[in-house]
Amino acid sequence: MTSLLRTAEAAAASIERGQSKAAENQLNALIREVKAQAEKHIHKDAVTVLIEDAEYLISELDE
């Protein structure tokens, strides 16, 4: 779980620095990691929320 947090923090830092492509890559990595942990260490409802939130952030980077 700490790698999820590190990935999210890295994405947040990239967003703050205005590095949209880096943030997008980090958010996509977060999505892959969440999917890999689905049903193992992360409840399915939390998986849905985390993925939807990451996808929303990615969509906002493009604007």
Using only the alpha carbons of the chain, give its radius of gyration: 11
Residue with the bigger pLDDT between 39 and 34: it is 34
User: 3-state SS string over the chain?
Assistant: CHHHHHHHHHHHHHHHCCCHHHHHHHHHHHHHHHHHHECCCECHHHHHHHHHHHHHHHHHHCC
For residue 42, what are the β-bridge partners?
38
pTM here? 0.91
Tell me what the mean pLDDT of segment 23-42 comes to.
96
Tell me what the mean pLDDT of segment 50-62 comes to.
95
Position 22 pLDDT exceeds 90: yes
Query: Token digits for 13?
Result: 């830092």
User: Above pLDDT 90, what percent of the chain?
Assistant: 92
Position 63 pLDDT exceeds 70: no
